[in-house]
Amino acid sequence: MGTMVSAARVKLSDVARDAGVSAATVSRAIAQPGLLSPETLARVRASAQRLGYLPDGAARALASGRSMTIGAIVPTLDSAIFARALQAMQATLAQAGYLLLVASHEASPAAETQAVRALLGRGVDGLMLVGAERAPETTALLRTSGLPVVLTWCGDGHFTAVTIDNAMAGRLAAQHLICLGHRRIGMIVGHLQFNDRQRARLAGARMALEEAGLSLPDSLVVEQALTLAGGRAGCAMLLDLDDRPTALIGGIDLFAIGCLEEAHARGMAVPDELSVVGIDGLDMSAHVSPGLTTVHVPTGRIGNLAAQTLIAMVARRPVERETLLPVELVVRRSSQTLPPH
């Protein structure tokens, strides 16, 4: 044996010869076994097995026009949110024989365009994207490609989408705090530039406050990078205000956890001196101290449904234009009634 230079890979025609059938028959044995007689099928399978035949995906894709691959483009893989959604997608796709091709754009519309181009070129059968906001060029690319596309978290009313009501999430967080008697509420959000989810959450919170005769002035909103440290920094800024808020909403749970930390570092008791509410419902949030009140988002289901929807679209089965998944307030210890002044 030793280091043998990779033996020429077994190909379909080898199997055909070995089994004494035509190439067409072997192909059918793989893709439409029902068309073959049991004996032929068994013979072909035996040969394929014995020779260790593995179909060449590129050739199949070229000949059939389907790559059995779905692409997903997310802001980053390094986030509990997208990691969970992708894991769910991947699991669902794998069951259907699809593979997941991933790309990230790090909040850059141009990078997203590039990623779309790359995935389109690679011949994915469908594409999952996050949010509805993107460079017009990207949208044009998507449209002219005619490829099945599913937007997630936010829809645009045109592409198929699996979404949550981000504005409602913001609203629930705010209403909860309002009900507890808070009147001065601050919010930390991600950079709003290329992030419609954060914009919607902010808008929802603001609207809830206004409906209650209150307001969420820009002075009480701070934009931060989507990290725990960003949340902590945002919290610090808000707490340093002359008329500091009595409650804070994190546009993502990570922000809220950062707030918990900053409050702790300052010796401010949560929830006694500061109430904190997040949005996302990370596993982690149930485990921090105090437990984080948050608006839970069914992240895994978004991934599962996006995958299922894409699979259905590839198969030309009808699908919901937009699936809206419910968000839900989960009250824990980080928020409480505003103590009497």
Cβ proximity of 264 and 237 under 8 Å: no
Binding mask 18-37 for a second copy (x = CB under 8 A): --------------------
Distance linking the first and last C-alpha atoms of the chain: 83
Query: Would you call the peptide bond into 290 cis, given omega within 30 degrees of 0 as the criterion?
Result: yes
Nearer to DNA, 22 or 215 (CB): 22
Determine if 122 is a binding residue for a second copy (CB under 8 A).
yes
Residue 322 backbone dihedrals phi, psi, to 5 degrees: -145, 125
Which residue in 27, 40, 69, 195 binds a second copy (CB under 8 A)?
69
Query: Binding residue for DNA (CB under 7 A) from 3, 6, 37, 144?
Result: 37
Q: Are 334 and 290 in contact (CB under 8 A)?
A: yes
Residue 56 binds a second copy, judged by CB under 8 A: yes
Segment 129-158, which members bind a second copy (CB under 8 A)? Answer: 144-146
152 forms beta bridges with 130, 162
* Interactions with a second copy, residue window 159-218 (CB under 8 A): none
Asked if 315 interacts with a second copy (CB under 8 A), we say no
Residue placing its CB nearer to DNA in the complex, 52 or 213: 52
Q: Is the separation of the CB atoms in 88 and 152 below 8 Å?
A: no
Question: Around Cβ 216, how many Cβ atoms within 10 Å?
Answer: 23
> For a second copy, which residue of 16, 149, 235, 257 counts as binding (CB under 8 A)?
257
To DNA, the closest distance from the beta carbon of 124 in angstroms equals: 15
Is the distance from CB of 160 to CB of 323 less than 8 angstroms?
no
From the list 14, 156, 223, 261, which residue makes contact with a second copy (rule: CB under 8 A)? 261
Site string for a second copy, 214-243 (x = CB under 8 A): -------------xx---x-----------
Q: 46 with 19: CB under 8 angstroms?
A: yes
Q: Does the footprint of DNA cover residue 22 (CB under 7 A)?
A: yes
Please choose, out of 27-35, 169-177, 290-298, 329-337, the segment that lies near DNA by the rule CB under 7 A.
27-35
CA trace torsion 209, 214, 219, 221 (10° rounding): -10
Read out DSSP for 186-238? EEEEE-STT-HHHHHHHHHHHHHHHHTT----GGGEEEE-SSHHHHHHHHHHH
Residue selected from 42, 46, 49, 63 as contacting DNA according to rule CB under 7 A: 63
SS3 (DSSP) at 93: helix
**Residue closer to a second copy (CB basis): 286 or 324:** 286
Among candidate residues 85, 55, 54, 90, the one with its CA nearest the CA of residue 69: 90
Burial environment of residue 258 by CB neighbours within 10 A (0 to 12, 13 to 18, 19 or more): buried
Structure tokens at 221: 């909103």
**Contact positions toward DNA, by CB under 7 A?**
9, 11-13, 20-28, 30-31, 35-37, 39-41, 53, 55-56, 59-60, 62-65
Task: List contacts with a second copy (CB under 8 A).
Answer: 5-7, 52, 54-59, 61-62, 67-69, 76-80, 82-84, 86-88, 90-91, 94, 99-104, 106, 115, 117-123, 144-146, 227-228, 232, 257-258, 261, 264, 283-284, 287-289
